[in-house]
């Protein structure tokens, strides 16, 4: 009976359980630490094509222009989740030489009866071009506010880095405007139209 567990194994259990519990806490913290780490990683590598690509004007002017290549830049515009804005580029696409500074503009109009502050999120396709697509001026650098019925033309000045690898002839620049007031999104009936239109389907199919 001397071999019967005394205080000793219970103490060992407590120590093991405590270490494992600390590991749990640590990993929970790791999940949250991923937020700044991930953003850091993305801004360094341009992983998601979501860097604003902002550079200073003087920097852009010192670039040599590579006249031997022509890149077609296409412009795209999307409204996120029923944002009641009219939003489109003034030109669909332009041809530029790498190193050449180009200015285009986007048009936005608030069609609702309330003031809306929105943020444009850029995206570049193919993503490999992200780090070579530099902007000196962009409406995406700041939030944009439009009063009811107000419209404006928003400038965008960009220059493509001559270091852009060979083989890329078309770059698509896409902007999604998102309402910064997210409360409307989170209402329980966030997708009324989509939802009702889908639930109508069964009747129409069974006919």
Please report, as ranges, the residues that interact with another protein according to CB under 8 A. 1, 3-6, 9, 12-13, 16-17, 20-21, 23-32, 34-35, 38-39, 42, 45, 47-50, 80-81, 118-119, 121, 127-128, 176, 178-180, 182-183, 185-191, 195, 198-199, 201-202, 205-206
- Closest to another protein by CB, 41 vs 90, is 41
Describe the chain by its helix, strand, coil percentages, rounded to 5: 35, 30, 35
Q: Quickly count: other Cβ atoms within 10 Å of residue 139's Cβ.
A: 22
For strand 93-96 and strand 116-125, is the pairing parallel, antiparallel, or unpaired?
A: unpaired
Contact predicate 125/160, CB 8 Å:
no
To another protein, the closest distance from the beta carbon of 13 in angstroms equals 4
To another protein, the closest distance from the beta carbon of 173 in angstroms equals 15
How many Cα atoms are found within 13 Å in the side-chain-facing hemisphere of 47?
Answer: 9
Nearest Cα to Cα of residue 131 among 165, 97, 154, 105: 165
Cis peptide before 103 (omega within 30 of 0): no
d(Cα 120, Cα 87) in Å, to the nearest integer? Answer: 11
79 sits in which H/E element = strand 71-79
- Closest to another protein by CB, 77 vs 118, is 118
Query: 199, exposed or middle or buried, with CB in 10 Å at 0-12, 13-18, 19+?
Result: exposed
To another protein, the closest distance from the beta carbon of 71 in angstroms equals 20
- Closest to another protein by CB, 55 vs 121, is 121
To another protein, the closest distance from the beta carbon of 148 in angstroms equals 20
- Closest to another protein by CB, 29 vs 149, is 29
To another protein, the closest distance from the beta carbon of 114 in angstroms equals 17
Give the CA distances from residue 51 to residues 40, 67, 119, in Å, rounded to whole numbers and listed in that order. 11, 27, 14
- Closest to another protein by CB, 49 vs 98, is 49
- Closest to another protein by CB, 45 vs 170, is 45
To another protein, the closest distance from the beta carbon of 95 in angstroms equals 25
């Amino acid at each position: 009976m001397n071999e019967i567990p005394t205080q000793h194994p219970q103490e060992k259990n407590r120590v093991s359980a405590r270490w494992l519990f600390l590991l749990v806490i640590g990993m929970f913290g790791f999940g949250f630490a991923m937020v700044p780490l991930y953003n850091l990683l993305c801004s360094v590598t341009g992983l998601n094509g979501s860097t604003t690509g902002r550079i200073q004007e003087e920097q852009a002017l010192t670039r040599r222009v590579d006249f031997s290549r022509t890149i077609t830049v296409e412009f795209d515009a999307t409204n996120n989740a029923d944002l009641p804005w009219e939003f489109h580029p003034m030109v669909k696409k332009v041809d530029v030489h790498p190193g050449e500074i180009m200015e285009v503009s986007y048009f936005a109009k608030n069609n609702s009866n309330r003031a809306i502050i929105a943020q444009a999120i850029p995206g570049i396709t193919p993503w490999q071009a992200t780090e070579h697509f530099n902007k000196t001026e962009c409406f995406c650098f700041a939030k944009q506010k439009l009063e009811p019925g107000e419209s404006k033309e928003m400038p965008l000045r960009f220059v493509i880095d001559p270091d852009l690898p060979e083989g890329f002839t078309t770059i698509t620049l896409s902007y999604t405007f998102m309402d910064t007031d997210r409360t409307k999104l989170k209402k329980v009936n966030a997708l009324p139209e989509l939802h009702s239109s889908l639930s109508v389907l069964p009747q129409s199919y069974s006919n």
